[in-house]
Structure 1
Amino acid sequence: MILFKKVSLLIFLSILVLITKAQSDSLRSGVYDIESIEGKKLQGKTSTVAVLNMHASTLEPGKTNHPPRALMDREELVIVKEGSLTLTINGNNKTLSAGGIALIVAGDEQSFENASDKRVSYYVIGFKSLSPVDINRGKMNGGSLLKDWNELVVKKTDKGESRPVFDRASSMFERFEVHATTLNAGQQSHQPHMHNQEEIMLLMGGNVTMHIGKNNFNAVAGNIIFLTPGIVHNLTNTGKEPCWYYAIKWYQDTEAK
C-alpha cells in the first residue's frame, strides 16, 4: 500500500510538472523587452500558433546569416531595425533599409547578407500555425513579399499616419494582415477595445503606454507587445515625438472573411 501511494504521488507530481511546463510555454499578453532576454529570443505557443518565435539579430559587414535554405513548416516576418539588409528569396535579392519588411512564406529558399560597410540589426518573427501548412496557398496569394519603408503607401490620419503592408492569405493563415502606424504625441491608437484575434505590435520608435487588461505598461523602441484574444487594450503615445510600430494580426479559418 505504501509503495502504491508513493507511485501514485510520483505520477501526480509528473503530471503537475507537465501541466506547469505547458502553461509556462504559452505566451501571455504583455510587453516584452526582446533585447534584454537571454539570447534576444522569445518563444512560446498561443491559441492558434504551435510555435511563435521572435528574435533580434545583427550581421557584421560582409556576413550572411546562413546558406540558402527553405523552411517547409513555418513562415517568417523580417523587419530591419537599422542599417541595410540584403535578402535573397528563391535566387532574387533586394536590399531593405531601416523599417523595411519582408514576408517569407513556407517553402521559399532564403538567406540574408549584410552587403554594406556598417552593422545591420533586424527582427525575425516566425510562425508555425496549429493548422497544417499550405505552401500552395501561400504561392497563390502572392508568395514572399519584400517592401522597403519608402515603398509603403502613406495614408494620413487625424492621429498621424498609416501604412498598409499586406492583407491576404499566406502559407500559415487564411488571413494575415500587417500595417504600420505612426501616432503623434499624446494620441491614442484607439479607445480601449478587444477582438478575437491574437496580435503582435513591434514598437520601432518612440515611447508609449500600453494598456492591457487592467494594467498599464511602459514600452520603448524594440519592445514587442503580444495580445491574446479577448483582452482589452489600447496604446497611447506618451512621448514628445511621434511613435511608430508594426501591427501584426492573423485570423483563424472561420474568421478570415
Structure 2
Amino acid sequence: MKNIFLLLFCFMTISVFAQLQPIKSGVFHWNDFEAKTNGDRQSRAILQGVSTHLDYLSMHATTQAVGAAPSTAHANADIEELVIVKEGVMEVMIEGNGTILGPNGVLSLMPQQMHSLKNVGDTPLTYYVIRYRSKKPMKIQRSVDSGGTLMINMDSTIYKPTSVGGVRSYFDRPTAMCERLEMHVTTLDKKVASHEPHEHVETEIILMISGETAQMIDGKEYTAKAGDFYFMESQSNHGIKNTSDQPTTYFAFKWK
C-alpha cells in the first residue's frame, strides 16, 4: 500500500511539473509580491516555471520575525537551492553544524543535505530562496568535487575596482544541477552602463541590492530598484545601466 501511495505521489508531482510554463524574460518587482502572514513569518511567492536548462525553477521570499522558530529541517532529494539574505542575520544549520550569514550572504545548497534556517538577529530576517532542478541528470559527485555546499558572507569577498565601479566574486563552478553556476555582486558608478548589450547561453538573474537601474532585454527597457530583479533567458540580448546619481549595487548570477 505504501508503494502505491508513493507511486501516486510521483505521478501527481510529474503532472504538476508538466503544467509549468516557461518563465519569460523581464522584470519582477518586490512590491508586486503579496505577503502572506502565518504566525511568526511572512512568505512571498515570486515565480515558478521552467527555463532553457531547468525543468523546475521557483523563487520565493520569507521573512522570519525576531525570535521566530527555525524553518523545519529537511533535505531535498533532487532539488538544488540558492538562498540570499536580503535583511537580517541568519543561522544556517546543515547536518547539525551552524554558520552565520548576514545581509547579502549566500547559501549554495547541494541536494540531499538536511538543513534549516533561523533568525538569530534583533531585527526581522528576510531572504530569497531559489529552488531548481536540471533537465540533465543530477550529478552529486560533481558538486562534491567543486566544494559541495557553500556559505559566503559579502565581507569575506574581495572588492575589485573596475572602470565603471567594482565587483565581488562569490563563486564560479559546476554544481549537482548546473554545468556552470556563477555569482557575483556588481557596483556601478552613477549614470554608467555595465557593458554593451550582449547575449550568452546562460540564463541570468540580476537581483537589485540598492540604487536604480534600467535594463534593455531584447529591445525593451525595464527598470528596477532594491528588492526587484531582472530575469534573462538564455540568448536574450541584454544590458544594464545605473540611472541614478548614486552608485547602484546588484547580484548577478547565471547558470547552464
1:228 aligns with 2:214: no
Paired residues for 1:152-231 under 5 Å: 152-231=157-236
Shift of 1:65: 4.4
* 1:46 maps to which of 30, 44, 51: 51
Task: Tell me, yes or no, if the aligned pair for 1:106 and 1:138 is still in contact at 8 Å.
Answer: no
1:94 aligns with 2:99: yes
SS of 1:66 mapped into structure 2 = coil
| Alpha-carbon RMSD | 1.7
Shift of 1:130: 0.9
Q: Which amino acid aligns with 1:33?
A: H
Rounded to whole Å, the distance in 2 between the matches of 1:244 and 1:103 is: 20
Paired residues for 1:144-159 under 5 Å: 144-159=149-164
Q: Which amino acid aligns with 1:27?
A: I
Give aligned pairs, total. Answer: 231
Uncovered stretches (5+) of structure 2, i.e. residues with no partner: 1-17, 35-43
Greater helix share, structure number: 1
Counterpart of 1:31 in structure 2 is: 27
Shift of 1:225: 0.9
**TM-score, length-scaled by structure 2:** 0.86
Shift of 1:34: 4.1
Counterpart of 1:254 in structure 2 is: none
Uncovered stretches (5+) of structure 1, i.e. residues with no partner: 1-20, 252-257
Rounded to whole Å, the distance in 2 between the matches of 1:114 and 1:194 is: 38
Shift of 1:40: 3.2
Task: Tell me, yes or no, if the aligned pair for 1:64 and 1:111 is still in contact at 8 Å.
Answer: no
Shift of 1:94: 1.2
Q: Which amino acid aligns with 2:21?
A: D
SS of 1:138 mapped into structure 2 = helix
* 2:244 maps to which of 236, 239, 244: 239
**TM-score, length-scaled by structure 1:** 0.85
**Whose Rg is larger?**
1
Task: Tell me, yes or no, if the aligned pair for 1:85 and 1:97 is still in contact at 8 Å.
Answer: yes
